[in-house]
Chains A and B, each alone.
Chain A
Amino acid sequence: MKSIAELEEIRKRTLQRINLRREDKESEVRVVVGMATCGIAAGARPVMMAFVDEIGRRHLSQVTVSQTGCIGMCRLEPMADVFLPGEEKVTYVNLDADKARRIVAEHVVNGRPVTEYTIGNAENNKQQA
């Protein structure tokens, strides 16, 4: 038999798992990984799995990871965009699993973009987005 506290525990644990099905996503943070052929070939899959894993490990229920197609800069793959509510998106390039984990820690959790991985930095500080 479950106690009230156990019930609450189940609620929190499961909610984190299924929260991505909610339709009210105003406060949501989105991580979008480029998963076209070019991205996958460059290693986007381990990058995405690192995002998913790190976000799960930190119990960040308001963050979703999704995929997108090729945006035309195949030489910079694997790429990912991070959308924080009310802020401009940040595009990261030439990612790997470790970089992905750092982005979760610094950008998603603490709100500080990891400038050294951004597209602006990669393109010699030419400002794009």
Chain B
Amino acid sequence: MHFSIFRYNPEHDDKPYMQDFRIDLESSDLMLLDVILRIKNVQDDSLTIRRSCREGICGSDAININGRNGLACVTNVRKLREPVELRPLPSFPVVRDLVVDMSRFWKQYHSIRPYLVNDEPPPEKERLQSPAERERLDGSYECIMCGCCTSQCPSSWWNPDTFVGPAGLLQAYRFISDSRDRATGERLQDLNRDPYRLFRCRTIMNCTEVCPMGLSPSRAIERIRLRMLDVEGHGGGLARHRVPTVR
């Protein structure tokens, strides 16, 4: 199978380049990550990729596969169009090869205060939720923070320092819709404090399209806008969609 992989080592290379690799698939090569790791182990051990759980939960092996962001560990390698072009997540600064610097992404995530804000005296055991209140978190708590959405969002490309981005906004919605949180008003106000944090979103829905968990950040952004208008919506969680196969 033919792969064309983005290479860049800032210590040696003046600029990035694409390197070709050819490898015969073995029966144990199911997912793209299996093959990348075999290329690294057998052909070029300097090839750098970030990965951990290898089962689509940690989100660390998010890369751009044939022009589309996805997780290498849950992408069926046999369905990919050849040559398989692998690049780091678009618009994120490259650390080396397929590894990107996610500091800006985390900075935006932290800016939405991704934790419950509740100054009321804590109950003896825990803050309980009814099943209906818990259901409202569906479709937002499952985010694995892989960065696929934010990296594929043009609004984030143009204003990465000021626009929170789809991943951060999905998390903002997760806390806005949490019955145990007491800072809903402040959270909404914070997202409406300038024309950038939320309102750079033009609803082109690339985020929803590429989310490997089938989540819908664009729907969450719509719900935040409705909450700003005091419209509660249906009250339920966000629907998840089938993840399209990367080819």
Same complex for A and B? Answer no
